[in-house]
């Protein structure tokens, strides 16, 4: 168990390193491109990207199915099965890529004839950018089976290095746009389309040289039953993801309809801030997903449940260590970040983070249920669940409810009731005992949340808002978090692991100093 844990920690560290570097480069690239293209051309690029991005959730459903089946086959340690799944995945994604390209080119007639508002003199450049995006989509879809193989082998180091290289290529494109004398928007679109092609070739070459299952011979390794299973799984995933997407986008539309654009600005800022904080926990979950699926594939159901609970616990804790001080000091944090803080932004941001905290409690259970495989009923319930949430918002706002009701409903419906549904299906499908959830997961995180919040809120109650209070709140909250975690919320095996990691780190530093 400790070997698996150590691998998860190493993979998570690699993903964090990638996140830190790529986030910095991304901010730099955005600044360069905005200065180079200007607001108008940058807006054209964003509009075209958004039009294509709306169709991305189709590929997302297939990607999750591919990752699940490849990791499951890896857990079974059946080489023939792995090769078969790889070939089926490739054929499926080549077909989907061809279909998506056809759909996107047909959609171009709709987008460029009444939907997209683009100045006539920039229409040619917009067409080129659109074609470049379609090319990028083609290679990104074809790359998915190879990404799934890397994921199933938990080789996150390659993911991290390739992600950094991809960011550096984007930075190079940005500099090329700054210094080119050609049409900058066309140059940017064409060069950006080259990056998916390069990453596809690199990923494909790496997999073919390293993993024996990456043999593409569909006539020899075809399995109609496997294709049917993957399509069925992807279809159920697609149904749930579509309803979730409609619910998410619909929330903004409902908010706009009843309260106007000011509330949309506050909601957008809240989601952006929450998304940045969430990256710390999502990277850890990404490292754990293949471990959970492989555990189920190898028949280790008890280990799968244990790792799912540990993933939920540490995803919550990693998010909470940042989220709690942000909630307590949201006003001054937003004042530092934004010159003018729109009305409702503070309370929206606080409540958005609360919703995400609740969702973290069961965040890995969806992966566990996917790994178990029987997701038809679960997907139906989730789809209906997401759509009812949107209907509830419409009813509440039509009756004159405050905008805050958006988050009250989200906490009660998506947060608490959504967690109960996941917990029920974990018990029904995977046999997890409810007491296991409360003993190993729920009780520890409640203890840590209370100690961290109580310590942090002391400075908020006793001092006026200031930078000093912000620093003190963060410090006290962190101290409360560490004390609650170490003394009350960990098992002896977890404390032993932490001590072991600290000892290894100290020994490495000591050896470097001696040499």
Separation CA 371–CA 390 (nearest Å): 29
> Most confidently modeled of 8-12, 13-17, 149-153, 162-166?
162-166
Q: Which of 138-147 are b and which e, b meaning 16 or more Cβ less than 10 Å from the residue's Cβ?
A: bbbbbbbbbb
Closest residue by Cα to residue 285 from 328, 252, 314, 261:
314
Separation CA 28–CA 116 (nearest Å): 28
Question: Taking 90 as the threshold, does the pLDDT of residue 354 lie above it?
Answer: yes
Two tokens, residue 59: 């590929």
So what's the pLDDT on residue 423?
A: 93
So what's the pLDDT on residue 512?
A: 53
Q: Which of 472-493 are b and which e, b meaning 16 or more Cβ less than 10 Å from the residue's Cβ?
A: bbbebbbebbeebbeeebbeee
Tell me: the pLDDT tens digits for 447-506?
A: 999 999 999 999 888 888 889 999 999 999 999 999 988 887 777 777 776 676 666 655
For the residues 431-458, what does the mean pLDDT come to? 91
Separation CA 111–CA 123 (nearest Å): 11
Separation CA 24–CA 36 (nearest Å): 19
Separation CA 61–CA 169 (nearest Å): 28
So what's the pLDDT on residue 358?
A: 92
Residue 344 backbone zone (phi > 0: left; psi -120 to 50: alpha; other: beta) = left
Residue with tokens 């960011």: 167
* pTM for the predicted model, two decimal places: 0.78
Closest residue by Cα to residue 459 from 438, 475, 447, 436:
475
Separation CA 325–CA 476 (nearest Å): 9
DSSP state for residue 326 in the 8-state scheme:
H
Residue 400 backbone zone (phi > 0: left; psi -120 to 50: alpha; other: beta) = left
The span from the first CA to the last CA of the chain, in angstroms, equals 33
* 415: number of Cβ within 10 Å: 21
Tell me: the pLDDT tens digits for 98-134?
A: 887 888 788 777 767 766 666 777 778 888 888 888 8
So what's the pLDDT on residue 231?
A: 79
Closest residue by Cα to residue 73 from 147, 129, 153, 187:
153
Two tokens, residue 231: 């399509």
Separation CA 482–CA 448 (nearest Å): 8
Question: Taking 70 as the threshold, does the pLDDT of residue 509 lie above it?
Answer: no
Longest Cα separation, the chain:
73
Torsion from C-alpha of 370, 375, 380, 386, nearest 10 degrees: -10
So what's the pLDDT on residue 19?
A: 76
Sign of the Cα torsion 315, 317, 322, 323 reads positive
So what's the pLDDT on residue 224?
A: 82
Tell me: the pLDDT tens digits for 165-209?
A: 988 998 898 888 888 778 888 888 888 888 889 999 999 999 988
**Burial zone of 345 (CB within 10 Å; 0-12 exposed, 13-18 middle, 19+ buried):** buried
Q: Whole-number mean pLDDT of the chain?
A: 82
So what's the pLDDT on residue 323?
A: 92
Separation CA 213–CA 71 (nearest Å): 12
Closest residue by Cα to residue 221 from 317, 314, 84:
84
* 70: number of Cβ within 10 Å: 29
Separation CA 84–CA 147 (nearest Å): 16
Residue with tokens 């579509």: 242
Q: What angle do CA 501, 504, 505 make, to 5 degrees?
A: 85
Tell me: the pLDDT tens digits for 14-70?
A: 777 787 787 777 767 767 777 777 766 766 666 666 556 555 555 566 677 777 888
So what's the pLDDT on residue 43?
A: 67
pLDDT confidence band for 316 (50 / 70 / 90): very high
Q: Can you give the residue ranges of every domain in the chain?
A: 1-222, 235-515
Separation CA 424–CA 429 (nearest Å): 8
Separation CA 56–CA 63 (nearest Å): 11
**Burial zone of 396 (CB within 10 Å; 0-12 exposed, 13-18 middle, 19+ buried):** middle
So what's the pLDDT on residue 325?
A: 93
Closest residue by Cα to residue 286 from 362, 363, 358:
363
CA atoms within 13 A on the CB side of 260: 4
So what's the pLDDT on residue 1?
A: 45
Separation CA 122–CA 33 (nearest Å): 17
Question: Taking 80 as the threshold, does the pLDDT of residue 78 lie above it?
Answer: no
So what's the pLDDT on residue 56?
A: 56
Separation CA 235–CA 227 (nearest Å): 12
- Those residues whose C-beta lies under 8 Å from the C-beta of residue 373, and which sit 6 or more positions away, are 72, 233
């Amino acid at each position: 168990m400790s070997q698996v844990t150590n691998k998860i920690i190493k993979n998570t560290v690699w993903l964090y390193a990638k996140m830190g570097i790529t986030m910095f480069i991304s901010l730099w690239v955005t600044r360069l491109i905005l200065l180079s293209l200007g607001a108008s051309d940058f807006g054209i690029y964003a509009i075209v990207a958004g039009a294509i991005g709306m169709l991305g959730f189709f590929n997302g459903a297939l990607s999750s199915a591919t990752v699940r089946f490849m990791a499951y086959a890896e857990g079974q340690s059946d080489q023939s099965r792995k090769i078969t799944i790889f070939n089926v995945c490739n054929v499926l994604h080549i077909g989907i890529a061809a279909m998506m390209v056809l759909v996107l080119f047909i959609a171009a007639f709709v987008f460029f004839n009444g939907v997209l508002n683009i100045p006539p003199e920039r229409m040619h450049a917009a067409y080129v950018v659109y074609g470049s995006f379609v090319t990028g989509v083609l290679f990104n879809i074809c790359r998915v089976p190879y990404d799934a193989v890397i994921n199933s082998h938990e080789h996150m180091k390659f993911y991290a290095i390739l992600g950094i290289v991809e960011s550096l290529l984007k930075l190079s494109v940005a500099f090329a746009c700054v210094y080119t004398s050609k049409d900058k928007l066309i140059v940017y679109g064409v060069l950006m389309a080259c990056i998916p092609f390069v990453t596809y070739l690199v990923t494909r070459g790496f997999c073919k040289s390293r993993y024996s299952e990456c043999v593409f011979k569909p006539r020899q390794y075809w399995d109609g039953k496997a294709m049917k299973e993957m399509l069925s799984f992807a279809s159920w995933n697609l149904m749930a993801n579509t309803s979730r997407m409609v619910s998410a986008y619909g929330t903004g539309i409902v908010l706009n309809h009843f309260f106007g654009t000011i509330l949309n600005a506050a909601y957008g800022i809240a989601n952006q801030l929450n998304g940045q904080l969430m990256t710390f926990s999502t990277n850890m979950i990404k490292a754990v997903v293949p471990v959970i699926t492989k555990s189920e594939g190898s028949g280790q159901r008890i280990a799968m449940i244990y790792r799912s609970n540990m993933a939920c616990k540490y995803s919550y804790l990693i998010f909470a260590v940042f989220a709690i001080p942000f909630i307590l000091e949201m006003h001054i944090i937003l004042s530092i970040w934004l010159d003018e803080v729109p009305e409702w932004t503070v309370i929206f941001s606080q409540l958005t983070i609360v919703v995400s905290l609740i969702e973290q409690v069961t965040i890995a259970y969806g992966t566990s249920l996917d790994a178990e495989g029987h997701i038809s009923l679960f997907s139906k319930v989730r789809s209906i669940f997401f759509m009812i949430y949107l209907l509830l918002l419409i009813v509440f706002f039509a009756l004159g409810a405050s905008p805050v009701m958006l988050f009250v409903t989200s906490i009660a419906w998506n947060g608490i009731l959504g967690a109960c549904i996941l917990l029920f299906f974990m018990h029904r499908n995977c046999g997890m005992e409810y007491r296991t959830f409360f003993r190993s997961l729920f009780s520890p995180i409640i203890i840590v949340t209370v100690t961290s919040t109580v310590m942090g809120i002391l400075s908020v109650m006793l001092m006026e808002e200031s930078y000093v209070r912000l620093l003190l709140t963060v410090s006290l909250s962190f101290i409360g978090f560490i004390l609650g975690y170490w003394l009350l919320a960990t098992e002896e095996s977890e404390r032993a692991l932490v001590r072991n990691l600290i000892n290894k780190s100290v020994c490495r530093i000591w050896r470097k100093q001696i040499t």
